Structure 1
């Protein structure tokens, strides 16, 4: 990735039907996505450094887990859950356009 890191702030919905074997695609949460039988994961990068993830639970309802996000270079984001409600993980940003966030799987 060249130049300034892409701005990932905002709420995103996983458009899993657009995924490739190597990437996952997210669309802005305020734009419609096709209906799906399985729940769609939602992530939100807030400008104050907080992170929210809505994950499918055992009964397919979404539940929210909150944490913190921090940029680690041009294409890397680290997500942590200081309260112990989730395992830390890293996200590699492949690209960001106005209506699409693509990350490595």
Structure 2
């Protein structure tokens, strides 16, 4: 991983304006985002292994879905959700810093 697992801890919102063809950029939730008509997806990594994905809800407000995360090899992060909340996902961290998290699409 291009950062220690502790570097992921925090709440990150999708800064889709900065995405590349093969990467998705996330910024801390307190980042000064420009106004947007699109709901920003979010990822929260907690130090205790809890993961919260903010998904667009039916009324366009973010809807939190909670699971668990763990760091794997090669920049991979595995996320599991309870039954009925979604299939497990694997995220690949390209880079991370205090103010920018970049994931492979």
TM-score by length of 1: 0.90
Find the aligned partners of 1:31 and 1:57 in 2 and give their Cα distance: 22
- For the pair 1:51 / 2:55, whether they are aligned, the reply is no
The count of residues paired between Structure 1 and Structure 2 equals 104
Question: Partner of 1:99 in structure 2?
Answer: 99
Q: Is the 8 A contact 1:25 1:101 kept in 2?
A: yes
Q: Which runs of 4+ in 1 moved over 2 A?
A: none
Rounded Cα–Cα distance in structure 2 between residues aligned with 1:37 and 1:77: 29
- In structure 1, the gaps of 5 or more residues are none
TM-score by length of 2: 0.90
Give 5+ residue unaligned stretches, structure 2.
none
Alpha-carbon distance, 1:31 to partner: 2.1
Secondary structure (helix, strand or coil) at the match of 1:17 reads helix
Q: CA RMSD in A?
A: 1.6
Distance, in Å, in 1 between the alignment partners of 2:18 and 2:4 is 23
Per-residue displacement from partner, 1:22-78 (whole Å, max 9, x unpaired)? 000000012221111110001100000000011112332211100000111140000
| Structure 1 CA distance for aligned equivalents of residues 81 and 21 of structure 2 | 27
